[in-house]
Amino acid sequence: MFYKEFFEKIEMGENIMENIICIDGVVGVGKSTLGELLAKELGIKLFEEPVVNNPLLDKFYYDRKRYAFSTQVFFLNKRFEMIKEASKLDTCIMDRSIYGDVIFAKMLMEDGDMSKEEFSLYESLLKHMLESVDRPLLMIYLETTVDNAVKKIKERGRDYEQIVPRTYWESLNKNYSEYFSTYNLSELLVINVDNLDIRDNEKDREYFFSLVKNKLAEIGNKATSK
């Protein structure tokens, strides 16, 4: 219900940034890897999620309540900067984007790490930012189970992710499912990656590419038929 009401509040115009493809999914789903592969396949630029050069992220995982609001605003600001820069390019892929930023903020508020007053301020900032940008051409949602996401998180071994309880990843997956069940900001392509080894299996990789290319062709056909 929250996400349905959230989308109803957003007063975005009907303009579409035909050069922007977004890729999203829970932590551990493989967004960055698949984003890199898809960008290479399509010959376009990839905007990476601002994780590596985020001075607050490591602190946040060890003290959520103190750093929740500042970390979320950091991400929001960076994603707004990135979407403005991306809008000037011919075509690009965004590894996460401003459109789905509310998922993490909502969870922080519900878990008590962000106050209701802070969330209200955050939501107001996000609403104004979304209403000042256009819609992306396509949103790709990579769907997965919690077990598979946690397995990949453990394999990549980021210290600050290892201390996160499984219940958090379960809640994140649930929120992603709810968010994309009502998502209406653009064309949406949902791909379940649980049984796909897109990184190392050429057949699976080509299947993934074909799904995206077919969806892009479908969008193009819709546009030309109007």
33 annotated as a binding-site residue: yes
Question: Residue 100 annotated as binding?
Answer: no
Would the annotation count 14 as a binding residue? no
Integer Cα distance of 118 and 42 in angstroms: 40
The active-site residue out of 24, 95, 113, 134 is 95
C-alpha closest to that of 208 among 47, 30, 14? 30
To the question of whether residue 35 is assigned a binding role by annotation, the answer is: no
**28 assigned ligand-binding residue:** yes
Q: 72: annotated binding-site residue? A: yes
202 assigned to a ligand binding site:
no
Question: Is 24 annotated as belonging to a binding site?
Answer: no
- Tell me: is residue 161 an annotated ligand-binding position: yes
Residue 29, annotated as binding a ligand: yes
To the query of whether residue 204 is one of the catalytic residues in this protein, the response is: no
Residue 25 assigned as binding residue: yes
Q: For residue 95, how many other CB atoms are within 10 A of its CB?
A: 22
Q: Which residues sit in the known binding site for substrate?
A: 49, 61, 72, 96, 101, 161
Q: Which residues sit in the known binding site?
A: 25-33, 49, 61, 72, 96, 101, 161
Q: Which residues sit in the known binding site for ATP?
A: 25-33
Which residues are designated catalytic? 95
